[in-house]
């Protein structure tokens, strides 16, 4: 079932090594079919060069494996909680991409220092707290998802305006309307993380870009008054 979805998710996964976002088998992409309530995700621990579209695992939102000969990615419960909480999310990516993960390990959100960031992500990319011992022991991956959901709701962050998060001492998750857009946002995040790091090296006293500049760049590409690009 969902052969087209599996093919799309396979292709999205293969973009992670192509863009230099993953090493070995680290990282995974999923995409949900909202009509059936099922999502396809990369299998756990299978090297990218051996992956085939039919290896993608189909899961439902109760965590049942619907189809696939492999076990799903160990991060599947995180993806599941995000899909359940945010109907506007259609695809999710997790990587340990080097620069974004460095910010996560340092426990710092990525400030918006310029328009490259503002074009895609509204404001800082938040870095969440580390999970507690109980949360880690009880259900690590599920609790990672629940923490993201809880923090985005508490901070009243719109997942469409902030399509990325850093999990402290771990790494980034990004999302989008589908798997492809989530991969795109993972590439953008890594590039912004790299530039923000260099920005602080060059000027340790640097401040985020002026709010009006951030607003201009974000809202000319997003929302009701967007005018960037070509009209469909």
Q: How far is 215 from 203, CA to CA, in rounded Å?
A: 23
Tokens of 59: 């899961």
* Helix H or strand E encompassing 201: helix 179-202
Place of tokens 């087209």: 4
Query: Looking at 60, 137, 158, 228, which residue is catalytic?
Result: 228
Q: Would you give the DSSP letter of residue 55?
A: G
Q: How far is 100 from 97, CA to CA, in rounded Å?
A: 6
Q: Would you give the DSSP letter of residue 42?
A: P
Q: Where are the beta strands (DSSP E) in the chain?
A: 28-33, 38-41, 57-60, 65-67, 91-94, 127-128, 164-167, 171-176
- Secondary structure of residue 29 in the 3-state scheme: strand
Tokens of 112: 């918006």
Tokens of 100: 């974004």
**Contact between 226 and 220 (Cβ < 8 Å):** yes
Catalytic, 228? Answer yes
Query: Looking at 33, 55, 119, 215, which residue is catalytic?
Result: 119
Q: Which residues pair with 94 in a beta bridge?
A: 28, 173
Catalytic, 10? Answer no
Tokens of 194: 């790299």
User: Angle formed by the axes of helices 179-202 and 98-106, to 10°?
Assistant: 60
Residues with a known catalytic role: 119, 228
């Amino acid at each position: 079932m969902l052969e087209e979805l599996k093919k799309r998710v396979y292709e999205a996964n293969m973009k992670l090594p192509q863009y230099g976002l993953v090493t070995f088998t680290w990282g995974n992409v999923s995409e949900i079919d909202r009509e059936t309530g099922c999502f396809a995700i990369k299998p756990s621990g299978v090297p990218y060069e051996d992956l085939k579209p039919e290896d993608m695992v189909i899961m439902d939102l109760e965590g049942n494996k619907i189809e696939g000969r492999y076990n799903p990615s160990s991060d599947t419960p995180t993806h599941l909680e995000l899909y359940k909480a945010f109907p506007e999310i259609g695809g999710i990516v997790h990587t340990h991409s080097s620069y974004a993960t460095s910010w996560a390990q340092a426990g710092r959100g990525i400030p918006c220092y310029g328009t490259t960031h503002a074009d895609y992500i509204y404001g800082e990319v938040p870095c969440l707290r580390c999970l507690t011992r109980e949360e880690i022991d009880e259900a690590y991956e599920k609790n990672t998802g629940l923490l993201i959901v809880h923090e985005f709701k508490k901070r009243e962050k719109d997942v469409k305006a902030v399509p990325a998060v850093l999990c402290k001492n771990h790494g980034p998750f990004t999302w989008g309307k589908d798997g492809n857009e989530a991969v795109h946002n993972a590439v953008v995040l890594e590039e912004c993380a790299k530039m923000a790091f260099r920005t602080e090296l060059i000027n340790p006293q640097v401040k985020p870009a002026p709010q009006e500049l951030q607003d201009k760049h974000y809202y000319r590409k997003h929302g009701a008054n967007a005018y960037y690009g070509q009209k469909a």
